Amino acid sequence: MTLAAAPPDRVSSPDVVAGLLARSVLLVTGKGGVGKSTVAVALARLAASRGKRVLLVELESVSHAGPLFKRPVGAQPVDVAPRLTAVCLQTADSLRHFALQQLKVPALVNLALRNRSVEHFFQAMPAIKPILFLYHLWCLESIHGPHGDARWDLIVCDLPTTGFAIGMYEIPRTLSTVFRLGPIAGYADGMQKLLGDPRRTGLVLVALPEEMPLVETIELHAAMQRRFGVEAAAVVVNGMFPELVAPADLAELRAALDRPGTPDAATTAPANSDAALAAWRWAAEVVASRRQRATEALPRLRAVVGDRVLALPFLFRRDLPLDAIDGLAARLGGQDGEPR
Amino acid sequence: MTYNALANVLDASRVLVLCGSGGVGKTTTSAALAVTAARRGRKVLVLTIDPAQRLLQALGLHGHGLAPNAPHEVLPKRAADLPADLAVTPGGSLHAMMLDAESGAIAMVERLLPDKALRSQVLGNRVYRAFLPALQASPDYIALELIASLAEAGHFDLVVLDTPPMHNALDFLHAGGTLSAFINERVLRWFAKVPQPGQKARLSLLSAGTSMAMAVLGKLFGHEALPDIAQFFASFQDVLPRLKERTQQTDRLLRSPATAFLVVTAPGETALREARHLHGVLRAHDMRVAGFIVNRVVQAPAVLRGEHDAATEALHHHLTHHGHGADRAHALAAALGAAARQLEFLASADEAHVAALEQLGGFGSLCTVVGQREQDIHTVAELAQLGGALLDGLRGHRTR
């Protein structure tokens, strides 16, 4: 009996991971707090380590990539590591980008956007954020270098919320309803082709092995299938609690802790024994219930997306610096990043 | 009498807004606080904008095909589910409501446009209909308008709002002003010059400036789409004053002393950073931040942290007493001890995060801490228990 004697959970399926990295856009989404940003950065680092030129895209949030790479990440793409560029798109900048594409003349753009009520009008338009984001993403994906090759091999998007992801997939249909002709109808068509082509775009759902995030992940996957005919390219389960104590030992410990200390034992037991035993009961319950939830999560997700489930271990820390994320990336890539 | 700053917020506010980044337990916390306020005798409505129906699940109302955007009674209807020590004070009640942005938008148009003909024009408008499903990405619009009308109607003493997971706190705070920025006099004036569907342009009437504006609008949207867009805006012409008034009401309500904001967070560097950011944004917008609720804290019992060796000895003693050989007892105790050290490590990191938030809140700000639950909440009784734990978890809790 040794600590964590069991092999680590099978964390990676090389074919699934290779399939992810072969696409040109990965959209990473999931319920809040499940570690979307961590997974997005891990995927970006893994792709870069395999020689791809990667763009990591965040959206109007407090940038996670900035503190991680220790340099400001804003509306202009900035190289943060070898073969890895990061950008944090802001609606106002995407609007300017869109206006410039339409009006061509910077002076006219300035004239149009200088007016505060114009700016407010656009910022207040329903669904403007997913529209401009998707437009901007579509433009980024189609940027080609002087030799006709794509500027980036892979664009990894850290999407804010599941609601945003659904809203974004809705956009091409919305736009083509309102704009049946003209430039925007053409863009809507291009965006639809990008989102609808599983060889170009992969949807990555991130989950935790806990009840509500699991239910929401399964519901989101069903909604994406039903509404848009989209299948998740992968589901990443974050924070798989490891087997800290072998199951048989844990069962034995819990059984013993459930038995009362006898009056006879009380005389010889160390002081404060009751409090100590209560504390051990707490520890045993936490270890057992979290491990149980982790092991139960995988079959439930596999029932929905088959073998496209990847798992990442729970790390016993509250900060996640870059080297810790690289450890996760290595695990995704099929290497056991940590010594047993 | 015991004074509890969180209980005081529940007793004295008319609107309580819980905000925070996703996944920190906002929805469950909102429901638990709403149950607690109802138990303390208030007439409470809890409103969730979260597209997943988690709140209704926690309230035991999940999957019953309940209509969105309508209050459903939870207490006293289900008071029998509460144990005697968690009973509801007479007069207290709780209703729960789930916001659906799409049908909420239709209801909002109905409230704003009493004129039937005009209303069917808006509801039938191509632009409006196309954007309805997309509203799911920005439900804050509808929520704030609904809150204002609910607070105005006066059926409830307290409205608890569980805010949507937001990637930008400003979105929500600005939502009140958002609609009137989208539909304002100036914008209406631009589109007023565009011929509506079936009308012919009277170009001779256009000034040079307007022609220019038309050219820009046409370039941006395509000339083909302009008439429908124009019709959409024209429909709102008459209700603009009402819309503005509504917005100002909402805005006043959010800034009034009757409204309190609570920032919900959980341990972890990212959550802490977002809580700091949110706290700063709310303060900068003159919102009254009552304090922080920190969920999912690992609270390792003190004896494991302070007296690990003595605790291990007690475990060893217990195991040998119950028939394990010394070696076996030693091995088992060592295995659980090593696992517990990992949890202790999380506990001390969490403690540091809580201390940082307390310091950020400063004087007069409350901070309440609840432990990570190992089981999900399924019943009203469990929500009431959690509400009790939230009151008990108040830091610096003092009596007078």
Question: Which has the closest alpha carbon to B13: B41, B37, B39?
Answer: B37
* Contact residues, chain B, for A40 at CB < 8 Å: none
For chain A, helix, strand, coil in percent to 5 are 55, 15, 30
Contacts of A185 in chain B (CB under 8 A): 222
Q: Which amino acid type is present at position B208? A: A
User: Is B3 within 8 Å of chain A by CB?
Assistant: no
- Report d(CA A256, CA B109) in Å as an integer: 64
Nearest-CA distance from A15 to chain B in Å? 30
Q: Which two tokens stand for residue A165?
A: 């992801």
Q: What are the residue boundaries of the structural domains of chain B, listed by start?
A: 1-99+157-170+259-400, 184-235
Residue A313 β-bridge partners: A240
Q: Which helix (H) or strand (E) holds A300?
A: helix A273-305
Of A93-97, A281-285, B147-151, which range is least confident? Answer: B147-151
Which residue of A lies nearest to B351 if distances are taken between CA atoms? A318
- Using pLDDT thresholds of 50, 70 and 90, give the confidence band for residue A2: very low
**What's the whole-number mean pLDDT along residues A85-99?**
88
- Name the CATH architecture for the domain at B1-99+157-170+259-400: 3-Layer(aba) Sandwich (3.40)
Q: Which of A103, A125, A265 is the closest to B219 by Cβ?
A: A103
> Which of A318, A320, A325 is the mutation pick for testing B, counting most B CBs within 10 A?
A318
CA closest to A273 among chain B residues: B314
CB atoms within 10 A of CB A79: 11
Mutate to test the interface with B, among A59, A159, A280 (most CBs of B within 10 A): A280
Token pair, residue A222, equals 């069903």
CA dist B213 and B159 (Å) reads: 44
Q: What are phi and psi of B161, to 5 degrees?
A: -110, 120
User: What b-and-e string marks burial along B337-361, b requiring 16 or more CB atoms within 10 Å of the CB?
Assistant: bebbbbbbebbebbbebbeebbebb
Strand partners, B93: B43
State how far the Cα of B150 lies from the Cα of A148, in Å rounded to an integer. 58
Cα separation, A130 vs A167, in Å, equals: 7
Is cis: bond before B76, omega within 30 of 0? yes
Give phi and psi for B288, each to the nearest 5: -85, 105
Q: Mean pLDDT over residues A137-165, rounded?
A: 85
By mean pLDDT, which of A74-83, A104-113, B111-120, B235-244 is the weakest?
Answer: B235-244
- Rounded distance, CA B168 to CA B178, Å? 14
Q: What residues of A are in contact with residue B184 (Cβ under 8 Å)?
A: 117, 120-121
Domains of chain A from N-terminus onward? 14-243+307-332 (3.40.50.300)
Sheet architecture: strand order including A78-81? A78-81, A84-89, A54-59, A154-158, A25-29, A201-207, A234-240, A309-313
Distance CA B290, CA B264 (A): 11
> Chain B residue with minimal CA distance to A103?
B219
What gap in Å lies between CA A12 and CA B100, rounded to an integer? 38
On whether any CB of chain A is under 8 Å from the CB of B102, the answer is no
> Could you give the CA distance from residue A119 to residue A96 in angstroms, rounded to a whole number?
10
How close, in Å, is residue A51 to chain B by CA atoms? 29
DSSP string of A49-69, one letter each residue: HTT--EEEEEESSS-SHHHHH
**What is the per-residue pLDDT for B372?**
83
Global pTM value: 0.87
* Residue of B21, B211, B270, B309 for testing the chain A interface, max A β-carbons within 10 Å: B270
> Can you read off the two tokens belonging to residue B109?
């148009």
A191-227 in b/e form (b: 16+ CB < 10 A) is bbebbeeeeebbbbbbbbbbbbbbbbbbebbebbeee
Give the C-alpha separation, B234 to B183, whole Å: 10
Tokens at A251, concatenated: 């069962």
Alpha carbon separation from A198 to A8, A25, A32, A231 (Å, rounded) = 31, 10, 25, 8
**Which of A256, A262, A283 lies closest to B319 in CB terms?**
A256
Q: Which two tokens stand for residue B330?
A: 């030693």
Residues of A within 8 A of B318 (CB-CB) are 256-257, 261, 265, 269, 273, 277
- Cα angle, residue A154 at apex, residues A126 and A97 outer, rounded to 5°: 40
Q: Which of A34, A178, A184 sits opposite B23 (nearest CB)?
A: A34
Place of tokens 């148009």: B109
The upper half-sphere exposure of residue B68, i.e. CA atoms within 13 Å in the direction of its Cβ, equals: 20
Closest CA to B47 of B110, B111, B139: B139
Chain B residues within an 8 Å CB radius of A269: 314, 317-318, 321
Inter-chain Cβ pairs, chain A and chain B, closer than 8 A: 261
CB distance B55 to B30 below 8 Å: yes
The 10s digit of each residue's pLDDT in A180-224 is: 777 888 889 999 999 999 999 999 999 999 888 898 899 999 999
Looking at residue B60, its pLDDT comes to 64
Q: Do A182 and B168 touch (CB under 8 A)?
A: no
pLDDT of residue B99: 77
- Dihedral sign of CA atoms A143, A233, A84, A162 in order: positive
CA distances from B70 to B46, B96, B112, B146 (A): 11, 8, 18, 11
Residue A156: beta bridge partners?
Answer: A26, A56
Q: What is the DSSP letter of A339?
A: -
* pLDDT band for position A137 (cuts 50, 70, 90): very high
In A237-296, the residues whose Cβ lies within 8 Å of chain B are 244-246, 249-250, 252-253, 256-257, 259, 261-262, 265, 268-273, 275-280, 282-287, 289-290
Residue at token pair 């299938």: A225
Q: How far is B285 from chain A (nearest CA, A)?
A: 18
Percent of chain A with pLDDT over 90: 55
Q: Which residues have CB under 8 Å from B184's CB, separation 6+?
A: A117, A120, A121, B240
Cα–Cα distance measured from residue B256 to residue B8, given in angstroms and rounded to the nearest whole number: 16
CB contact under 8 A, B165 and A161: yes
- What does residue B96 show for φ and ψ, rounded to 5 degrees? -120, 145
Q: Does B206 touch chain A (CB under 8 A)?
A: no
d(CA A312, CA B335): 23
Give the pairing of strands A25-29 and A154-158. Answer: parallel
- Is any Cβ of chain A less than 8 angstroms from the Cβ of B309? no
Concatenated DSSP letters for B253-297?
Answer: HHHSTTEEEEEEE-SSHHHHHHHHHHHHHHHHTT--EEEEEEEEE
Residues in chain B, pLDDT under 50: 51-52, 204, 398-400
A1 close to B (CB below 8 A):
yes
Residue B175, min C-alpha distance to chain A (Å): 8
pLDDT in tens, B256-298: 899 999 999 998 888 888 888 889 988 888 889 999 999 999 9
**B375: nearest CA in chain A?**
A289
Residue A214: closest CA among A233, A240, A245: A240
| Shortest Cα distance, chain B CAs vs residue A10, angstroms | 21
Chain B interface includes A213 (CB < 8 A): yes
Task: Give the Cβ contact number of residue B181 at 10 Å.
Answer: 21
Task: Let me know: does B95 contact B46? Beta carbons within 8 Å.
Answer: yes
Q: Which residue has the higher pLDDT, A272 or B310?
A: B310
The model's pLDDT over A221-247, given as tens digits with 9 standing for 90+, comes to 999 999 999 999 999 999 999 999 999
Q: The tokens of B299 are what? A: 């609270």
DSSP strand pairing (A54-59 vs A84-89): parallel
Kindly state whether B339 is in contact with chain A, defined as any CB-CB distance less than 8 angstroms: yes
Q: Distance (Å, rounded) from C-alpha B381 to C-alpha B360?
A: 33
Residue B367's H or E segment, with its range, is strand B366-371
Suggest the residue from B295, B342, B357 to mutate for an interface test with chain A (most A CBs closer than 10 A).
Answer: B342
How many separate helices (H) and strands (E) can be counted in chain B?
18, 8
Distance CA B32, CA B55 (A): 10
How far off is chain A from B323, nearest CA to CA, in Å?
9
B215 touches chain A (CB under 8 A): no
Angle at B154 between CA B150 and CA B160, to 5 degrees: 50
Identify residue B152 by its one-letter amino acid code: E
Say if the Cβ atoms of B315 and A277 lie within 8 Å.
yes
Q: Do B22 and A33 touch (CB under 8 A)?
A: yes
